[in-house]
Amino acid sequence: MKKSISKIAFLLLALLLVQCKREITPAHLLNLTLTLPKVFGQVKFPPTTAITLTNTETGRIQIKQPDENGLLSIPLAEANYKISCDLDLPIDGLDYIFHKSMNSLNLNQDTDLQLELILGSNTGGFVFKEIYYVGSMTPEGKQYGSDQFHEIYNNTTDTLYADKLCIGLLQQVGNNPNVWLNPDGTVMDNLPLTYQVWIVPGSGKEHPVYPGQSFIIAQDGINHKKDPNGNPNSPVDLSHADWETYMEVSGKDLDSPSVPNLTMMYTTSTTINDWSASVNGSAVILFRLPVEWKTYVDNPANFKTLPGSSSSTKYFMVNKNYVLDAVEIVSPDETRRYKRLPESLDAGLVFTVGGSYCGKSIRRKARFIIDGRVIYKDTNNSTADFLHDLIPTPGINPTAIEK
């Protein structure tokens, strides 16, 4: 009996000692401040901001919310901690994801800690970075449009693949009113593409585009400044373009041997020499098809004739949900500007003030520059997102933030 009492007393004493040890474990104040890279300026941290604090000795996890200025003060038991924060923050209409993790903080005194979040990724995906569509004038005063190009940029922190990306121009080009409308006057969800519709060849991961890099689609992949077939007044050398839109079916197009060709999925005309955007402004879309392109083209439901017309020409139709990026390029003539894209794809519009054959381009604004990587502005409003009447700079990124 005495032995049993002794054992019980011993256990009680041990428990008491453990409890006393817990009670005398000192607590220290952790003053933690969240910050973002300076290029993002002053922002308010939303109520959804969560900081995870893990005591690596006991395994206890606490999730705390800082104030709108990113400040958190909390008393913690003396121990070693792992601290992490993931944040989804909307800036200028685009969601940016930030994160930061500290695997070891030995908290043995009151501590002030600044945790600078780093940009994890943003939802921009592939975007049109620069479009040069107006062409140039030759020394003899002739119009020259073969130097057009579209530059497509990886606006994320992830490696993306150009394989199976598609590009096309909306049917209603130039200065004419849009007839592809719903009865209430809104733009149809299915968008009609005219002339040639192109796709980047590849099985899925043959053509990587790394974060902050781009690829260029040239109408003709030559040095337009120096090539005998070019124009000395052209502002661009496209001999190093990544892709070319070669119209083999016409038998008249120039095929640059140094630039690979996109695959033509469909054309409304086999006699046109080149894939040419209207110098008066063509709405352009970048998209991916939900099925293999040959399957898509074989389905007659994916083609329609012009509303109100007796023409038998059928246009390649793309649902707006397949679109990755779109730009509403219009005429500089204010009286002849017509929307062809739904508001959800582009709520604005852009044009070159200099007009046709002025040799200038449009380009997205550099919104942020982080560790030398440009993040271009993409709010689905070309009026706010683009600069216009620039000297074309294919493959070159700005070095300063642009307003």
Residue 329 sits in the same domain as residue 182: yes
Q: What is the pLDDT of residues 328-369, one digit of tens each?
A: 999 999 888 889 999 999 999 999 999 999 999 999 999 989
Q: Which residue has the tokens 């922190």?
A: 157
Residue 343 sits in the same domain as residue 261: yes
Q: Which residue has the tokens 């469909």?
A: 266
- Distance (Å, rounded) from C-alpha 341 to C-alpha 326? 8
Q: What is the pLDDT of residue 273?
A: 86
Single-letter amino acid, residue 120: G
In 3D, which of 346, 315, 317, 304 has the Cα closest to residue 329? 346
Q: What is the pLDDT of residues 39-92, one digit of tens each?
A: 888 889 999 899 999 999 999 999 999 999 999 999 999 999 999 998 888 877
Q: Where are the alpha helices (DSSP H) in 94-224?
A: none
- Longest C-alpha distance within the chain, in Å? 118
Which region holds residue 245: left if phi is over 0, alpha if psi is between -120 and 50, else beta? beta
Residue 89 sits in the same domain as residue 181: no
Of 122, 154, 186, the one marking the end of a domain is: 122
18, β-bridge pairs = none
Q: What is the pLDDT of residue 6?
A: 57
- Which band of pLDDT confidence, cut at 50, 70 and 90, is reported for residue 1? very low
Q: What is the CATH number of the domain that holds 95?
A: 2.60.40.1120
Residue 20 has pLDDT above 50, yes or no: no
Beta carbons of 235 and 392 less than 8 angstroms apart: yes
Residue 131 sits in the same domain as residue 77: no
Of 91, 107, 122, the one marking the end of a domain is: 122
Q: Kindly state whether residue 79 falls inside one of the protein's structural domains.
A: yes
Q: What is the pLDDT of residue 172?
A: 84
**Cβ-count burial of 346 within 10 angstroms (0-12 exposed, 13-18 middle, 19+ buried)?**
buried
Q: What is the pLDDT of residues 234-266, one digit of tens each?
A: 999 999 999 999 999 888 898 999 999 999 999
Q: What is the pLDDT of residue 177?
A: 87
Residue 59 sits in the same domain as residue 165: no
**More confident: 159 or 118:** 159
Total domains in the fold of the chain: 2
In 3D, which of 65, 288, 275, 310 has the Cα closest to residue 150? 275
Residue 236 sits in the same domain as residue 139: yes
Burial 64-103 (b: 16+ CB within 10 A, else e): eebeeebebeeebeebebebebebebeeeebebbbebeee
Residue 209 sits in the same domain as residue 349: yes
Residue 156 has pLDDT above 70, yes or no: yes
Q: Kindly state whether residue 328 falls inside one of the protein's structural domains.
A: yes
Of 62, 87, 122, the one marking the end of a domain is: 122
Q: Kindly state whether residue 323 falls inside one of the protein's structural domains.
A: yes
Q: What is the pLDDT of residue 346?
A: 94
- Distance (Å, rounded) from C-alpha 18 to C-alpha 22? 6
Residue 176 sits in the same domain as residue 303: yes
Beta carbons of 164 and 289 less than 8 angstroms apart: yes
pLDDT above 70 covers a percentage of the chain that reads 92
Q: What is the pLDDT of residues 81-129, one digit of tens each?
A: 999 998 888 877 677 888 888 989 999 999 999 999 988 765 569 999 9
Q: Which two tokens stand for residue 192?
A: 């009609």
Q: Kindly state whether residue 80 falls inside one of the protein's structural domains.
A: yes
Q: What is the pLDDT of residue 87?
A: 87
Residue 344 sits in the same domain as residue 293: yes
Q: What is the pLDDT of residue 50?
A: 93
Range of the domain at 197: 126-390
